[in-house]
Chain A
């Protein structure tokens, strides 16, 4: 059997600590990477631009939030505001003549600074109170962006992203924009995986699980949480900038509203808290399932299989979608990642039920 655990014996610590210790997983990752690199050839421009590209960018954003919510256990309901700071900062930086590569970093730094400042204030409270405090950040940032013309270009205005190039590659073509987004998502994925196997990631998980036990072995709770806020905000800011430049092409404050924050939280929860593959699944689910459901119901109604009014047809997908989210949270609180993990573990030891060691 191709996919099994038997015969895997690591003889050195570096070998046992590599990212994918099982050969079958390495093959799988290689295959997915190859498919992702070949996507512009394999997938039509319509699908690449309107499904694959946003999926990748939202995955990076969901991973950023998952770093804070999943690993660190700190709820954040204003993450769209963090992305907005990144997007607006990078656009203004490129307009001021800063090269795109540095503008991306600048967007991340701006988001990290403002996000950490709010975090420092918000972290004095826990749980639901932290939710309220981060919600306040969402509304404050929204208000400032909308009402300061120097940032938004005036109320109701749309700010176009300037023509830029990334490492001499002009971002005009869809393929170029896809590869930049892919690069960032891959970077984010590797970073997340590495955080989980270093002392920073363990300290975060320790704070999340038992803060007093973490303190007694020398973890500074406040500093660690603040560092999580900073890292997640930086990554969220860059993701916001990538979203603006590679997908939207123009930004308005509504694109980073409160409902987007909720969508991000949904991505993290449905995908699986603190899981990398969960970030991909969650972003895919939240972005694509409503579209699939809408098409499905429109198709069924068009074929005359079901008769629904125009009004109901518009709302049915949302009803199913909400039901699916509730269903996932009820039957598998650890999200799609856990479902995937169960299937994977089954095949790892197949045809037996237990791994033995």
Chain B
């Protein structure tokens, strides 16, 4: 069994009187695709927001590659090697696809006004070097044809792919995808699954994925964690966990009259 990359230890989070996460412990292992599933409002996105630093956990801690990351600000966690996408596409409107993906290289660049003042001798080399890396990712995700389009004019399926490209450009060791296939048709879904598998294989990533399409979850996830109302109700290999009676009850509802 390979080692744990991301480890959540007894993570709790409150919003006022709402106990959104009730002491969740889980670990994502090196190189696996880990599914995070559960009904609406079960705390999946909250857990991801705890990991990426938007809502630091009030109890418990989160370790990434053995070092504690809970309590760090989001941009610090990003530069530690965790990249994520959002449920609602969070691209920068008014920028082209290329510029959006270039943003993903930010942690390797030097955002300095002086570099802009002396562009030809200072920033030009950096820009070209990072452009090469960006083109590799564009190649991997087959985004060549929309490279120079503005992001708001391309279809949603492609926008989600651009967001994935932006996350991959940061050369993360862990990729967190928050419903990458929400609102997609079957064809777009299958494309997306292929790209996630390609990225995982070629770049050696560990992937944490929140997903509602159970066909996708059972076919690509190595292991899943099922949340319901802030509690962990099942964990383990995808098919086993999804057929757990507790999980079935959470998704479909319990029987009114137990036999």
Interface positions of A (Cβ within 8 A of B): 13-14, 17, 191, 194-195, 197-203, 205-206, 209-210, 212-221, 224, 227, 230-231, 357
Chain B interface residue count, CB cutoff 8 Å, equals: 44
For A214, the chain B residues whose CB sits under 8 A away are: 92, 103
Contact at B127–A200, with CB atoms within 8 Å? no
CA distance A13 to B84 in the complex (A): 28
For A219, the chain B residues whose CB sits under 8 A away are: 75, 103, 106, 111
CA distance A259 to B31 in the complex (A): 61
B99 to chain A, nearest CB (A): 6
Contact at B94–A205, with CB atoms within 8 Å? yes
Q: 0/1 per residue, B94-109, Cβ < 8 Å to A?
A: 1100010011111101
Contact at B92–A212, with CB atoms within 8 Å? no
Contact at B113–A17, with CB atoms within 8 Å? no
Point out the residue from B94, B119, B124, B166 that lies within 8 Å of A217, measured CB to CB: B166
Nearest B-chain residue to A232, judged by Cβ = B113
For A210, the chain B residues whose CB sits under 8 A away are: 90-92
Point out the residue from A194, A205, A357 that lies within 8 Å of B116, measured CB to CB: A194
Known: A194-B116, A198-B119, A202-B103. A218 touches B132 (CB 8 A): no
Contact at B74–A216, with CB atoms within 8 Å? yes
For B54, the chain A residues whose CB sits under 8 A away are: 212, 215
Interface of chain B residues 132 through 186 with chain A (CB within 8 A):
132, 148, 166-167, 170
Point out the residue from B52, B116, B148 that lies within 8 Å of A216, measured CB to CB: B52
Contact at A191–B116, with CB atoms within 8 Å? yes
A251 to chain B, nearest CB (A): 27
Contact at B103–A200, with CB atoms within 8 Å? no
Contact at A200–B93, with CB atoms within 8 Å? no
Nearest B-chain residue to A203, judged by Cβ = B111
Known: A194-B116, A194-B119, A231-B113. A221 touches B127 (CB 8 A): no
For B99, the chain A residues whose CB sits under 8 A away are: 202
CA distance A217 to B82 in the complex (A): 9
Question: Is B62 part of the contact surface with A, judged by Cβ < 8 Å?
Answer: no
CA distance A93 to B75 in the complex (A): 41
Question: Is B2 part of the contact surface with A, judged by Cβ < 8 Å?
Answer: no
Query: What are 28 inter-chain pairs, A to B, with CB distance below 8 A?
Result: A14-B128, A17-B127, A191-B117, A194-B117, A194-B123, A195-B116, A198-B123, A199-B102, A199-B106, A199-B123, A200-B111, A209-B93, A213-B86, A213-B90, A213-B92, A214-B103, A215-B75, A216-B52, A216-B74, A217-B78, A217-B83, A217-B103, A218-B106, A218-B107, A218-B170, A220-B75, A227-B111, A231-B113
For A198, the chain B residues whose CB sits under 8 A away are: 111, 115-116, 119, 123, 127
For B79, the chain A residues whose CB sits under 8 A away are: 218
Question: Is B219 part of the contact surface with A, judged by Cβ < 8 Å?
Answer: no
Nearest A-chain residue to B54, judged by Cβ = A212
CA distance A210 to B86 in the complex (A): 12
For A191, the chain B residues whose CB sits under 8 A away are: 116-117
For B115, the chain A residues whose CB sits under 8 A away are: 198-200
A176 to chain B, nearest CB (A): 24
Point out the residue from B86, B103, B126 that lies within 8 Å of A206, measured CB to CB: B103
Contact at B102–A202, with CB atoms within 8 Å? yes
Point out the residue from B52, B84, B116, B167 that lies within 8 Å of A200, measured CB to CB: B116
CA distance A205 to B94 in the complex (A): 9
Tell which of A202, A216, A224 has the most Cβ of chain B within 10 Å: A216
Contact at A212–B90, with CB atoms within 8 Å? yes
B56 to chain A, nearest CB (A): 13
Contact at A203–B127, with CB atoms within 8 Å? no
For A215, the chain B residues whose CB sits under 8 A away are: 53-54, 73-75, 78
Q: Which 6 A-B pairs have the closest CB atoms?
A: A218-B107, A213-B90, A199-B109, A215-B74, A218-B78, A194-B119
Contact at A202–B117, with CB atoms within 8 Å? no
For A231, the chain B residues whose CB sits under 8 A away are: 113
For B110, the chain A residues whose CB sits under 8 A away are: 199
Contact at A206–B92, with CB atoms within 8 Å? yes
For A216, the chain B residues whose CB sits under 8 A away are: 52, 74-75, 78, 83-84, 86, 90
